[in-house]
Amino acid sequence: MSPLEFFVDGVRVGTIESGPPYAVDWTDENPFEKREIVVQASDSSGNALRDSVILPPFELEERTEVKAVLLETGIYDKAGRPVREMPADAFAVLEDGVQQTIDLVTRETVPTDVVLLVDNSQSMSSRIDFVRRAAERLTAGLRTKDRTIVVPFNAHIGTITGPTNDRATISQAIGAMHAGGGTAVLDSLIEASRLLQNAEGQRALVLITDGFDENSTATTAEALKAVQQAQTTVYAVGIGGVAGIALRGETLLRQIATATGGRVFFPPREQDVLAAAEAITADAQNRFLVTYTPRNQKKDGLWRAITVELPDGYRVRTRAGYFAPPPPPIRPTAEFTILDDHRRYVDATRDDLEVFEDGVPQKIDTFQEAVDPVSIVLALDSSGSMKKSAELVKQTARDFVLAVRPEDSLALITFADEPKFAHALATNRTWSLDAIEKYTAIGGTALYDALLNSLNTLKGVKGRRAVVVLSDGKDENNPGTAPGSTHELKEVLALSKQVGAEIFAVGLGPTVDRPVLEQLAEESGGQTYYASDASNLGAQFRRVVDDLRRRYVISYTSTNSTHDGGWRTLEIRPRAPGHYVLTTDGYFAPEN
């Protein structure tokens, strides 16, 4: 086969003549653009071989924090008149029943962004002139620094005007309204709420409608959640016919206004719109701003109920609560290899696999060959039982060190009565070769202590990680009368889960502890190899090197975004019969 050529968006970026893996280095100068990666070659007969993959652009992940909550609060006396003066120490704020520490109470007026959401459906046709005048009256009372967004709707949102404080533009947009089509009040509330998501000042939404909704696909709960997430106060003006507004429409408007701290009006006559307009503008402009930092800073996306309390005799209107920011997505990464019934490596694509987390199907985001550098700890049994095999162990260990790729980091530990570090992780192979030359066999077998030290060496190391351990026996002291380690197998298995490193175990001779080595490999996603005598060690170490080069990596966005630090089981299933996957059996979710 000819050398493999790699192209990105039609530009050749490298050529490689040997493998696997077949890989070249390439720097994506703009990861926010989609790329097409193509590899091509030709076989001995001159037939062209080609494959391609689309590299999706990076996605920006928006994260939010609950630093402070701002409440726009209206206060009214027993007669329903707005209260303009109230000392700060009279306020009490409770979140989910827990009293909060108030940071600030002020009457300082800030600009208000107002969405004027006006029903232009056919059911409003006989009153459309009335509706236009009501809209004009409502915007006329706004301050010069307030901005208005005019949003007509019927079955869909119409042409949006604003945000603007230009009175002529607002008036022109209101005058252009005409009735026709169906009505989708709930859908329009959701769309209009999005217009206020990035508003910096106070936020208000004035809804003028007859409350008749025949076309919405959203539910009342969904619409209410949208306006609450936008932290918007809703003022509703229900305009009905001679018999007034329908009961169902009235209930809907009251529910939305009450839950957001707003007010609802049902003017029976045109002249009553003036009073409603004045009440809305007065209410929006004469509110106390109450700020507090929540005691509960969890990012769980759940609803937080708010209560503002004042001394007896006063009535408070404010929003009923807010939704905490959702937790950031959890994107696990898993390294694995695929074998057939004869333990031969199998090539695969993402379409050949299914991924399950705690039994729930997951969607694979990325799938690729594992070509990144590996941090490897080589742990060599140097107990007395290894004395006869010492020279062959040294030779095969040297061969392994030289077979590891130059970019891979290597650390070396020997263990007898206790584990001893020969050197820390490094790409300097001379250190490893010199340490192997000093290998001496004497004492017991502190297998578990050696594995614990190996895993701790990899703890906190980024990227791919692996432990390669050689042993000819079980964990025991030199006389064989007691354990050789101060730690137990269960501690090693627990740490293995935390670190997420594969364990490749090479067992030498007939007395090796097969159940322990196989459990270590199976739970970590590694493999177990056996050599009947030292002359077979070289072949088994070559299989370890080959396995490290024949692995894949997938990532996915977990359907469970709860940051609870809990253990999640992971299963990668090949679709083809007779194939099986070796990988870790799960991961720990991050903590909130």
Domain check: are 9 and 55 in the same one? Answer: yes
Q: Are residues 149 and 247 in the same domain?
A: yes
End-of-domain residue from the set 21, 40, 60: 60
Burial annotation 443-467 (CB, 10 A radius, 16+ → b, else e): bbbbbbbbbbbbbebbeeeeebbbb
Q: Classify residue 102: in a domain, yes or no.
A: no
- Closest C-alpha among 414, 481, 416, 482 to residue 454: 414
Per-residue HEC secondary structure of 230-297 comes to CCCEEEEEECCECCECCHHHHHHHHHHHHHCCCCEECCCCCCHHHHHHHHHHHHHHCCEEEEECCCCC
> 237: domain CATH number?
3.40.50.410
Residues 281 and 406 in one domain: no
Per residue in 5-23, pLDDT (tens digit) is 889 988 888 898 877 777 8
Question: Residues 342, 439: one domain?
Answer: no
Q: How far apart are the first and last CA of the chain?
A: 52
Residue 527 lies in a domain: yes
Domain finish residue from 60, 76, 91? 60
Q: Same structural domain for residues 352 and 424?
A: no
The reported pLDDT for the residue numbered 60 is 54
> What was the pLDDT predicted at 40?
87
Do 432 and 380 share a domain, yes or no?
Answer: yes
Among residues 247, 291, 286, the alpha carbon closest in space to that of 266 is found at: 247
Please identify every stretch of the chain with a pLDDT value under 70, giving residue numbers as ranges.
1, 58-66, 108-109, 241-244, 270-271, 274
Same domain, 470 and 523: yes
Determine the Cα angle at 357 with ends 302 and 344, to 5°. Answer: 160
Give the count of beta carbons closer than 10 Å to the beta carbon of residue 217.
9
Same domain, 387 and 362: no
Domain that includes residue 44, residue range: 1-60
Same domain? For 521 and 576 the reply is no
pLDDT at position 312, please? Answer: 83
Residue 511 lies in a domain: yes
Cβ–Cβ under 8 Å, residues 507 and 473: no
Return all residues near 212 (Cβ < 8 A) that are at least 6 apart: 121, 123, 183, 185, 246, 249
Residues 389 and 476 in one domain: yes
Q: What is the pLDDT of residue 170?
A: 92
pLDDT digits (tens, 9 = 90+) for 419-443: 999 999 999 999 999 999 999 999 9
134 occurs within a structural domain: yes
Domain count within the chain: 4
Same domain as 576, residue 498: no
Check residue 380 and give its pLDDT.
Answer: 97
Distance CA 500, CA 588 (A): 9
Q: Which two tokens stand for residue 367?
A: 């799938």
> What is the model's pLDDT at position 351?
92
Q: What single letter denotes the amino acid at residue 313?
A: G
User: Where would I find the beta strands (DSSP E) of 318-444?
Assistant: 321-323, 333-339, 353-357, 360-362, 364-369, 374-381, 409-415, 419-426
Spatial distance between the Cα atoms of 340 and 550, rounded to a whole number of angstroms: 14
The predicted structure's pLDDT at residue 456: 95
540 with 572, same domain? no
